[in-house]
Structure 1
């Protein structure tokens, strides 16, 4: 069986007898985050079903945006666009940037990605089109804590994000669940 076939089989079983705690709430569940918070975090598999419970967040509490290395790569990249919808359409009032220790992005380089893409048949011309952005993104990520600081600053200084929205920076440990504050956004948010 393929991965897709496995997922569809599990989904059919799930839908035949869905957990009551999900289906009973659906008529009450809103698309608006109850805690009015957006979280930008990494796509690391170790965070799935671990990060949110470690923060005391349940279904419907927050908007969670996952991206490799919890990074912002431009003034109007996908993360910023998602935050704009969160703030202007869904009532988000605070942003948490949560990086994590042992992040794989700290070992990823433009060279390693280029080599892997070439080996998978991506044309050199296609890689050449993104070479500058690839280098700026992959090679700039050296340390998870510094990346959190950089991402917080990129969001805080972005002209599309209101200055009164606190942007907090935190680091999470994927083995223990411990969360540490790097930047408390209340200090920088303009009232």
Structure 2
């Protein structure tokens, strides 16, 4: 069975027998985040069903934006666009940038990505089109805590983000669930 078939089978089972905590009331949850906050975090699989509960955040309470290394690459990149919708359309009042220890981006380089792309048949011309951004993005990440600081600063300096929105920087321990504050957005 393919991965798609596995997912469709799991979905049919889920819909036929939804978990008890998905009550009728829960199904009516608003798309607006109840806690009026947005999390920018990594796509690491170890954070799934672990990070939000470790922060006391449940379904319907926050907008969660996931991206490799929880980074921002430009003044209007995909993460910033998501934040703009969060703030101006969905009522988000605070932003939390949450990196994590043992992040795979710390070992990722543009060179390793390009090598893998070429091996998978991506043309040199296609790589050339994105090489500058790829290098700036992949080669810039060295340490998760510093990346959190850099991301918070990029958001804070972005002219599209209102000054009255606190932006916090946190580091998550993917083995223990412990959170450490790197930057307190209230200070």
Matching residue of 2:124: 124
**In the alignment, does 2:160 pair up with 1:167?**
no
Cα distance in 2 for partners of 1:28, 1:109 equals 44
Cα distance per residue 1:22-81 (max 9 Å; x no partner) = 142245411110100000000000000000000011101100000000000100000000
SS at match of 2:21: helix
Cα distance in 1 for partners of 2:185, 2:33 equals 19
SS at match of 1:75: coil
Cα distance in 2 for partners of 1:170, 1:27 equals 30
| TM-score of the superposed pair, with normalisation by structure 2 | 0.98
Matching residue of 2:82: 82
Question: Which segment drifts farther, 110-119 or 28-37?
Answer: 28-37
Let me know the Cα RMSD of the aligned residues: 0.8
SS at match of 1:4: helix
Cα distance in 1 for partners of 2:151, 2:99 equals 10
SS at match of 2:25: coil
Q: Cα offset for 1:21?
A: 1.9
| TM-score of the superposed pair, with normalisation by structure 1 | 0.96
Change (3 A) 1:2 1:85: same
Unaligned runs of 5+ in 2: none
Matching residue of 1:65: 65
Cα distance in 1 for partners of 2:113, 2:165 equals 35
Q: Cα offset for 1:17?
A: 1.2
Q: Cα offset for 1:18?
A: 1.1
Q: Cα offset for 1:19?
A: 1.8
Change (3 A) 1:112 1:27: closer
Matching residue of 2:56: 56
Cα distance per residue 1:154-187 (max 9 Å; x no partner) = 0011001101100000000000000000000112
Change (3 A) 1:90 1:132: same
SS at match of 2:64: strand
